[in-house]
Amino acid sequence: METLSQNKAFGGTQGVYRHKSTSTQCDMTFGVFLPEEASDGPVPVLWYLSGLTCTHENAMTKAGAQAWCAEQGIAIVFPDTSPRGEGVADDEAYDLGQGAGFYVNATETPWAPHFNMWDYIADELPTLLGKEFSIDLDRQAITGHSMGGHGALTLAMGLPGRFTSVSAFAPICNPTASDWGRKQLTAYLGADEATWAKHDATLMMEQSGFDGPVLIDTGTEDQFLDLLKPEALASAANSRRQQATLRLQPGYDHSYFFVSTFMEEHIAFHADALYAR
Amino acid sequence: METLSQNKAFGGTQGVYRHKSTSTQCDMTFGVFLPEEASDGPVPVLWYLSGLTCTHENAMTKAGAQAWCAEQGIAIVFPDTSPRGEGVADDEAYDLGQGAGFYVNATETPWAPHFNMWDYIADELPTLLGKEFSIDLDRQAITGHSMGGHGALTLAMGLPGRFTSVSAFAPICNPTASDWGRKQLTAYLGADEATWAKHDATLMMEQSGFDGPVLIDTGTEDQFLDLLKPEALASAANSRRQQATLRLQPGYDHSYFFVSTFMEEHIAFHADALYAR
């Protein structure tokens, strides 16, 4: 693992690191913020999965998360959203290929064998974090924005017991029924829709739910609301009596201004769950 | 004036606007955040002047200021750092020409007549803000980063009575004695150093000081510390018994991670002064 940069921030350290990934078979870059408390021993960690077109950097510089993570004494990790580089397949569309990994393991050409973002986030990167940083892997929580909200919800429900709590900002809630989903799941996983179900938060909520608290914020003026389908997830969560807070925030859109506005509350929500474990 | 974007943020509105400027004789773009309270009547305003290479956008998306301005009920304005566009002179160096206006009125070719950033910030933009937004021009404060810290300090001291308070993050403190200054002042104002004195915070502090509180933060690991010369301004402020808090923050560098770390305190500092007027 190589250190690309380290900046002191809010009493802690915001670092950017690169490593050769076995899951994605390319170099991967990620950001980690460690609060001051990490110098005294392992701290809880919050995962932040980013949306379409983002790298590790967007949320790291624009979501305003470090202030609140420092206050709560928790680390936050910002992974990239796909494999990248010259040998890695791509597409001209912004919503397929590099920057649009959708947190699945691709089985189809030309996306396999690089596009294994599920394995990267579920297995490889946590192992690396536990080895290289003062992070307590017994206390993990997860959040994300848009495509990253989809990733957070599906990873949380797909890895029972791993995360204390899950939240999301304007997540893609029902990708098997959305143009943000059907296109990508077809490309990465093939036409057999049976393989898609474990990557759809609404279907997973119907099947199994999440063993912990859920917090989701979506803006009423989100320009992508028809693609996100929060109503599908809300229906599933309510039908199963899932412990959840699902909020529609009046006037807010899909931008980082929306994300940063509610970041303090999301991090406090996760801190409550992390410190209760 | 044209509205380029408006995003709800922290209960208020982050807008971006463009107008034809008479001072700089080109289109100028700026950002304004208005807190929720602005819908009930004019609110105090904080100016944030940005550093070399920045547009209106960098601090607007990365400095984390809106959260604290919303909490304090004050507006914040993010001007651009120079005139821009095809008919506007530029230089290959990052620290001269577009993105590097240095908050002066240029008298020299090829920078005159566009490079009049002093007039733009001191006269034209405040008039426009008072006309177009729910902003109280009797309650203005000013801050900035690096070249923008230089701008904040020199405007605050050069316009007595205008600003209740001035702060800066890693400001260029003594440009007449720095490679971040001598080059630009020569280019914009000519070789006669007598014309430079009213654009050097240290010389102005020696001459007249500031009639209000001053807060300056600089990181001990700032990679540009030799160019910033905080020691010159500290000496001048102490010699004149200026009301001031001058802090060296251990471990911090020149980045927005540094700026955002101390933003809450700077905005609280200005709010105290703004609400006391």
Interface size A-B, in CB pairs within 8 Å, comes to 62
Q: What single letter denotes the amino acid at residue A229? A: K
Positive/negative CA dihedral, A163, A164, A170, A171: positive
Q: What is the pLDDT of residue B176?
A: 98
Selecting among B114, B167, B222, B266, the annotated active-site residue is B222
The burial class, CB within 10 Å (0-12 / 13-18 / 19+), for A109 is: exposed
Contacts of A161 (CB under 8 A, 6+ apart): A211
CB contact under 8 A, A64 and B252: no
Residue B248 sits at the chain A interface (C-beta within 8 Å): no
For residue range B214-237, what is the model confidence (pLDDT) as tens digits? Answer: 999 999 999 999 999 999 999 999
SS3 content of chain A, % helix, strand, coil (to 5): 40, 25, 35
As for the ipTM of the complex, it is 0.89
Cα–Cα nearest to A65, from A101, A35, A39: A35
Which residues does chain B have within 8 Å of residue A66's beta carbon, measured at their own beta carbons?
Answer: 257, 260
Q: What is the pLDDT of residue A277?
A: 87
For residue range B230-266, what is the model confidence (pLDDT) as tens digits? Answer: 999 999 999 999 999 999 999 999 999 999 999 999 9
String of DSSP letters for A242-254: --EEEEEETT--S
Q: What is the pLDDT of residue A200?
A: 98
Helix H or strand E segment including A135 = strand A135-144
* pTM summary value: 0.93
pLDDT at A246 over 90: yes
String of DSSP letters for B182-245: HHHHHHHH-S-GGGGGGG-HHHHHHHT--SS-EEEEEETT-TTHHHH-HHHHHHHHHHTT--EE
Which residues does chain A have within 8 Å of residue B60's beta carbon, measured at their own beta carbons?
Answer: none
Q: What is the pLDDT of residue A8?
A: 98
Domains in chain A, start-ordered, CATH in brackets? 2-276 (3.40.50.1820)
Mean pLDDT to the nearest integer, B34-58: 98
Question: Does residue A210 contact residue A157 with C-beta atoms inside 8 Å?
Answer: yes
The burial class, CB within 10 Å (0-12 / 13-18 / 19+), for A226 is: exposed
CB contact under 8 A, A64 and B67: yes
Which residues does chain A have within 8 Å of residue B266's beta carbon, measured at their own beta carbons?
Answer: none
Which residues does chain A have within 8 Å of residue B71's beta carbon, measured at their own beta carbons?
Answer: none
Q: What is the pLDDT of residue B277?
A: 87
Residue B231 sits at the chain A interface (C-beta within 8 Å): no
CB contact under 8 A, B261 and A10: yes
Q: What single letter denotes the amino acid at residue A154? A: T
Residue A66 sits at the chain B interface (C-beta within 8 Å): yes
Positions of A annotated as catalytic residues are 146, 222, 254
Residue B149 sits at the chain A interface (C-beta within 8 Å): no
Residue of A nearest to B254 (CA): A7
Residue with tokens 């408006």: B6
Distance from CA of B209 to the nearest CA of A (A): 31
CB contact under 8 A, A258 and B9: yes
